């Protein structure tokens, strides 16, 4: 069998995390699928003389079309499925109150929730980024928390999780005042700008931390143990395990 995501030889925690993050994070298409319903909501609301119902129906329709395209192409529904769900919840909030700005309330509450959760994950030493790293592990199904057995891995993931905290702080600090001022158009622009572009900025900061760090892996422990075991079964340097 050939590996779905062959891992390069990793001598440091940072090198291993770089590979795992590249496996676990989605690409540009998922980001477009997440942002497009929001843009459609704002545009439809603007051109329909601020008709919340028209805007909500248009956003949900676009999200469903994106999902159907995924089904036709037999590709993953992971990102577009989340977009359909989030759009439906946003439309429900807006239709229930009749106020367009309430379409953004679920996203704001979600950001607040993630902000609290990431802070708690740091305090409890179960950093949120560690779960993303774990998801990129070829043996995640067998040992989803293997990354926690490497103390260096936990320390690096805590530093990276602080980047997530900063991102959620920015989202809340920008979105809440706009929501309270009922600035619907700016809410739409801010939601898109603080979506994929903010993620790119956050990943860039994480990448800088990973490139500048040199935390050694602990042999025989954590996710690195599986990679080390793989080298015993081959005559070549480590290339990774089958997914």
pLDDT in tens, 36-47: 888 899 899 888
Confidence of residue 217 (pLDDT cuts 50, 70, 90): low
Nearest to 77 by CA among 141, 132, 33: 33
Confidence of residue 182 (pLDDT cuts 50, 70, 90): very high
Q: Quick: pLDDT tens for 63-106.
A: 889 888 888 887 766 667 777 888 899 999 999 999 999 999 99
Confidence of residue 183 (pLDDT cuts 50, 70, 90): very high
Percent of the chain with pLDDT over 90: 33
Q: Quick: pLDDT tens for 145-157.
A: 878 887 888 888 8
Percent of the chain with pLDDT over 70: 70
Bridge partners, 12 (sequence order): 216
Is pTM beyond 0.75? Reply is no
Residues 6+ apart with CB under 8 A from 100: 41, 45, 50, 52, 55, 94, 184
Buried b (16+ CB within 10 A) or exposed e, 66-83: bbeebeeeeeeeebbeeb
Please report the pLDDT score of residue 238 as a whole number. Answer: 35
DSSP string, the chain: ---SSPPPP--BHHHHHHHHHHHHS--HHHHHHHHHHHHHHHHHHHHTTS-HHHHHHHHHHHHHHHHHHHHHTT---HHHHHHHHHHHHHHHHHHHH--GGGGGHHHHHHHHHHHHHHHHHHHTT--HHHHHHHHTSTTTTT-TTGGGG-HHHHHHHHHHHHHHHHHHHHHHHHHHHHHHTT-HHHHHHHHHHTTHHHHHHHHHHHHHHHHH--PBP-TTSHHHHHHHHHHHT-SSSP-----
């Amino acid at each position: 069998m050939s590996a779905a995501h062959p891992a390069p030889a990793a001598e440091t925690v940072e090198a291993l995390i770089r590979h795992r993050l590249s496996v676990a994070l989605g690409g540009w298409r998922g980001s477009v699928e997440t942002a497009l319903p929001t843009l459609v909501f704002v545009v439809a609301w603007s051109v329909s003389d601020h008709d919340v119902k028209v805007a909500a129906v248009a956003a949900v329709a676009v999200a469903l079309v994106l999902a159907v395209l995924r089904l036709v192409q037999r590709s993953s529904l992971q990102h577009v499925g989340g977009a359909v769900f989030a759009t439906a919840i946003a439309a429900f909030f807006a239709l229930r109150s009749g106020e367009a700005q309430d379409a953004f309330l679920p996203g704001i509450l979600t950001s607040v929730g993630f902000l609290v959760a990431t802070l708690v994950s740091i305090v409890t030493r179960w950093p949120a980024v560690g779960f993303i790293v774990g998801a990129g592990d070829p043996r995640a199904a067998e040992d989803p928390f293997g990354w926690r057995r490497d103390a260096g891995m936990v320390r690096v993931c805590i530093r990276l999780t602080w980047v997530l905290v900063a991102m959620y702080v920015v989202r809340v600090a920008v979105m809440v005042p706009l929501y309270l001022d009922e600035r619907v158009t700016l809410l739409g622009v801010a939601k898109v700008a603080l979506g994929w572009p903010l993620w790119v900025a956050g990943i860039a900061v994480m990448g800088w931390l990973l490139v500048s760090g040199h935390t050694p892996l602990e042999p025989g422990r954590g996710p690195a143990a599986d990679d080390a075991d793989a080298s015993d079964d081959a005559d070549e340097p480590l290339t990774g395990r089958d997914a």
